[in-house]
Structure 1
Amino acid sequence: MLIHPTSERLIALGLTGMVKALDEQRQAGATFDSLGFEDRLGLLVDREAAERDTKRLTTRLKFAALRQAACVEDLDLRTPRGIDRAVMAHLVDGGWIRRHENLLITGKTGLGKSWIACALGHKACRDGQRVAYHRVPKLFEALAIARGDGRHARMLKALERTELLILDDWGLSVLTSSERRDLLEILEDRHGRGSTIVTSQLPVEHWHEAIGDPTLADAILDRLVHNAHRLPLAGESMRKRAATLKPLDPKRRA
């Protein structure tokens, strides 16, 4: 068999996974001799499919730019935070994203709101969905700059096409007039077409005041809240708890 010309042809076709699997079969020698042609070919195809899946996931995670490297498998359900296991299982399943529903995660600082949002974003990437993470203050800054250099419409279009948009740290300050218009535009474009996760220290009932303008607040919340799942967190700060439980360094001075 002309191994090297075959490998070169596979590389030229972009089938690098098959090249690796073919090389492994060569080096294994007699291990694969008992397998028929179709079985050995099937192993090559499976390897190629796995390689492509990994590359696509890497691309989706790079685009998502998640703030934290969080996975749903690492979610702490033992620490009391008001997380219902059945509700979390439903969120991890991801059906709500396919139905274009939203998720509102609220609670005081340190309870893991951003971590949970990023973990769900990571799971959505693994499920083949396009995800984007943004801290709300920085997103509004970027949109303001984009409005000045002609990229504003393009940024809004990219947000519209995202299947899961994560808006972190919402409600830290009352929105300005341009921020209200941008937020309404984003939610209007995404309504019924994509899902949005919002994390906030403010309870949902105070979001109206954080938006500022009563008319625009009604329009924004109508598109965001009415079909949203809610995950209100309560309890002691996870960061404070971790610092309390952390053993003291014996070399550290008192």
Structure 2
Amino acid sequence: MRYPNADLRCVDMLEQRGLDRGVIAQLGTCQFITRHMNVVFQGFTGSGKSYLGSALAKQACQHRYRAHYIRMPDLEETWTAAKDKPAGREKWLRKYSTFTLLVIDEWLLDPPTDDVRSMLLELLERRYDATSTVFCTQYAKKDWHQRLGGGVHADAIMDRIVHNTLWIETGDVNMREHTAAAAG
């Protein structure tokens, strides 16, 4: 995980962030996982998305769920490498579709290629209504369709995400800057 010591109980609830303590506490119960819901942490650079995603993955593990954290560029890289192995892409899809909780950080940081869009559609189809996915992103939902290239692939990917998702804005406070100022 990006932050192995991340803990939902230690999230800085700085008022300017606009985080709801009740929502964060509810996420800590992992009930969203039993309901096969997704979570989106959306906010500016440094607003704590990766920390929250790491904390949620750690919490899921403590509840004995199989969780995995990966950055979108690394997910794409492992997908590309899988094509050179016998049945590599099918094995890859099986692996990533069966994590009870999959945290994808830096979601849509770079627009995906056609190959990656096809992979995302297949992966999210396999995960839909069976597992939970956390997306950590700088982009608001209104920008996702364009970032996904528009068209039918973008429609289909969005359809498998937006209907059963809890959207949490992490605000515009740079927590790295805030933490450094508090320590100094």
Q: TM-score range by the shorter chain?
A: over 0.9
CA deviations 1:55-112 (Å, max 9, x no partner) are xxxxxxxxxxx22121112111135211011211211111111110100110000010
Alignment of 1:59-138 (within 5 A): 66-69=1-4, 70-138=6-74
CA distance in 2 between counterparts of 1:103 and 1:237 reads: 21
- Counterpart for residue 168 of structure 2: 231
CA distance in 1 between counterparts of 2:145 and 2:97 reads: 23
CA distance in 1 between counterparts of 2:9 and 2:24 reads: 11
Higher helix share: 1
Say which structure, 1 or 2, has more relative contact order (CA 8 Å, 6+ apart).
2
Higher strand share: 2
Contact 2:8 2:56 in 1 (8 A): yes
Aligned-residue CA RMSD (Å): 1.2
1:170 to partner: Cα distance: 0.8
- Counterpart for residue 206 of structure 1: 143
Contact 1:82 1:235 in 2 (8 A): no
- Counterpart for residue 108 of structure 2: 171
Moved over 3 A (4+): none
CA distance in 2 between counterparts of 1:221 and 1:213 reads: 10
Query: Are 1:143 and 2:79 counterparts?
Result: yes
User: Which of structures 1 and 2 has the bigger CA Rg?
Assistant: 1
- Counterpart for residue 159 of structure 2: 222
Instruction: Structure 1 unaligned segments of length 5 or more: list them.
Output: 1-65, 248-254
CA distance in 2 between counterparts of 1:236 and 1:77 reads: 11
SS in 1 for 2:110: coil
Q: TM-score when scaled to structure 1? A: 0.69
CA distance in 1 between counterparts of 2:64 and 2:178 reads: 35
Aligned length: 182
Matching residue's letter, 1:230: W
Contact 2:101 2:132 in 1 (8 A): yes
Q: TM-score when scaled to structure 2? A: 0.95
1:130 to partner: Cα distance: 0.4
Query: Are 1:187 and 2:134 counterparts?
Result: no
CA distance in 2 between counterparts of 1:119 and 1:79 reads: 20
1:131 to partner: Cα distance: 0.4
CA distance in 2 between counterparts of 1:178 and 1:107 reads: 27
Matching residue's letter, 1:108: F
- Counterpart for residue 244 of structure 1: 181
SS in 2 for 1:171: coil
SS in 2 for 1:67: coil
Matching residue's letter, 2:19: I
Contact 1:167 1:196 in 2 (8 A): yes
- Counterpart for residue 161 of structure 1: 98
CA distance in 2 between counterparts of 1:133 and 1:193 reads: 18
CA deviations 1:147-186 (Å, max 9, x no partner) are 1223211111011111000010011111100000000011
Identical pairs, percent: 35
